[in-house]
């Protein structure tokens, strides 16, 4: 063999989609590494096909997490979101009291009806917006509040980084439990 991965006696093709090529290159590297430690990885090895399938899955996870943006960081980081919430604290509370300050209390905002905090004086533009705050809606709103709700009163230019918005929304959700 020339160092390429062999399964059931057939050499895999390096011609195909770029992800397949990247996976196969990684599998070749892993195969060579194991050969250097005197373990041969072929379908005829005593570990058999089950071992090879596990190896393929592990290699696929490594390659995909490196090649596809966002897979490695799909989860929000509420701890980072808490730090980002400091920007919001000048106008908003996030507690069970339900009391608002300059802006409405954000406790339980994800899943809550838009403009629904009792006793808060929303702008006419916000009162006209119908629906429920979803993570997707909040993401758009936090990007550019006055573009999403023209005529709104939120004096905030917006949060440019998608990662920051995701982390902030993750914190709003986790702190509201």
- List the CATH number of the domain containing 107: 1.10.760.10
pLDDT in tens, 87-97: 999 999 999 99
Same domain, 109 and 146: yes
**Residue at 35 is within a domain:** yes
**Residue at 141 is within a domain:** yes
Rounded Cα distance, 177 and 165, in Å: 19
Same domain, 57 and 120: no
For 3-160, where are the E strands, in sequence order? Answer: 6-7, 10-11
**Residue at 72 is within a domain:** no
DSSP state of 89: T
How many domains does one find in the chain? Answer: 2
Within 8 A by CB and 6+ apart from 150, the residues are 125
**Single pTM value for the model:** 0.60
Same domain, 107 and 131: yes
**Residue at 112 is within a domain:** yes
Rounded Cα distance, 57 and 131, in Å: 41
Same domain, 96 and 133: yes
Which range marks the domain in which residue 152 is found? Answer: 78-175
DSSP state of 10: E
| The pLDDT of residue 154 is above 90 | yes
Same domain, 35 and 117: no
**Residue at 73 is within a domain:** no
Contact status, residue 98 vs residue 108, Cβ threshold 8 Å? no
Same domain, 169 and 116: yes
| The pLDDT of residue 139 is above 60 | yes
Q: What is the pLDDT of residue 137?
A: 96
Joined tokens for residue 134? 């979803």
pLDDT in tens, 89-122: 999 999 999 999 999 999 999 999 999 999 999 9
Same domain, 119 and 160: yes
């Amino acid at each position: 063999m020339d160092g390429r991965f062999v399964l059931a006696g057939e050499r895999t093709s390096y011609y195909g989609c770029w992800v397949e090529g990247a996976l196969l290159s990684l599998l070749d590297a892993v195969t060579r590494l194991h050969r250097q430690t005197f373990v041969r990885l072929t379908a005829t090895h005593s570990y058999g096909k089950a071992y090879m399938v596990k190896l393929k899955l592990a290699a696929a996870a490594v390659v995909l997490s490196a090649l596809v943006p966002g897979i490695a960081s799909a989860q929000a980081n509420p701890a980072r979101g808490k730090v980002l919430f400091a920007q919001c604290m000048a106008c908003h509370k996030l507690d069970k009291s339900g009391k608002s300050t300059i802006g409405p209390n954000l406790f339980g905002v994800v899943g809550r009806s838009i403009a629904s905090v009792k006793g808060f004086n929303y702008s006419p533009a916000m009162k006209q917006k119908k629906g429920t705050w979803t993570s997707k809606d909040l993401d758009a709103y936090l990007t550019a509040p006055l573009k999403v709700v023209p005529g709104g009163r939120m004096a905030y230019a917006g949060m440019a980084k998608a990662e920051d918005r995701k982390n902030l929304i993750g914190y709003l959700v986790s702190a509201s439990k």
